[in-house]
Amino acid sequence: MRRMLIATVNHTTGVLNRFSGILTRRQVNIESISVGRSEVKGNARITIVIDVDDLDEAEQVTKQLNRMIDVIKVQDITDEPHMEREVALVKLSAPPERRSEIFSMIEPFRTNVIDVASRSITVQITGTSDKIDAFVEVISPYGIKQIARTGATGLTRGN
């Protein structure tokens, strides 16, 4: 069961290590972690996507994370209206004779071409993890040279 948790934490040394340590001790599979500064100076926001067996396990993890000293608040936003995005950079094999075909395949995904070389192109795609997975599946036959994904980040909608 995939769950998305967002946490506001004090931006201190070792907080991410302690945060992920709790998940490791509970043997929770971490699909992605995204960390960055928040709107409040001295705070950071962690977005973590975990794979748990059931809702009860997700609640227990959330409660345990909320008890950490540097944690201000942890919230499971999976069932709330929320926005979720991931960024991927994908370098494709793109010999000149296949470029127009490749461009027609990537256009529906609203990608941005960020680098063009003699035998490759690099594109940036933003969206849900499912959208990026679909993009990778469509362009795989053309030859993926490299791929880098950020992992999901998200916020609740509305107030």
**4-50 residue pLDDT tens:** 999 999 999 999 999 899 999 999 999 999 999 999 999 999 999 99
**Which uninterrupted H or E stretch holds 128?**
none
How confident is the model at residue 71, as a pLDDT?
94
* Two domains, one topology: 2-76 and 83-156: yes
Please give the pLDDT value at position 159: 73
Sorted by where each begins, the domain ranges of the chain are 2-76, 83-156
pLDDT at 123 over 80: yes
Q: How confident is the model at residue 158 (pLDDT cuts 50, 70, 90)?
A: confident
Q: Which residue has the tokens 């529906």?
A: 108
Output the CATH code of domain 2-76. 3.30.70.260
* Domain over 83-156 is classified CATH 3.30.70.1150: yes
Over pLDDT 90: what percentage of the chain?
97
Cα–Cα dist 11/9, whole Å: 6
Identity of residue 16: L
Give tens-digit pLDDT for 59-89.
Answer: 999 999 999 999 999 999 999 999 999 999 9
What's phi and psi for 116, nearest 5 deg?
Answer: -130, 125
* Residue 89: partners with Cβ closer than 8 Å, 6 or more residues away: 114, 122, 123, 124, 146, 147, 148
Whole-model pTM?
0.84
Whole-number pLDDT of residue 139: 96
Closest CA to 25 of 68, 78, 69, 55: 68
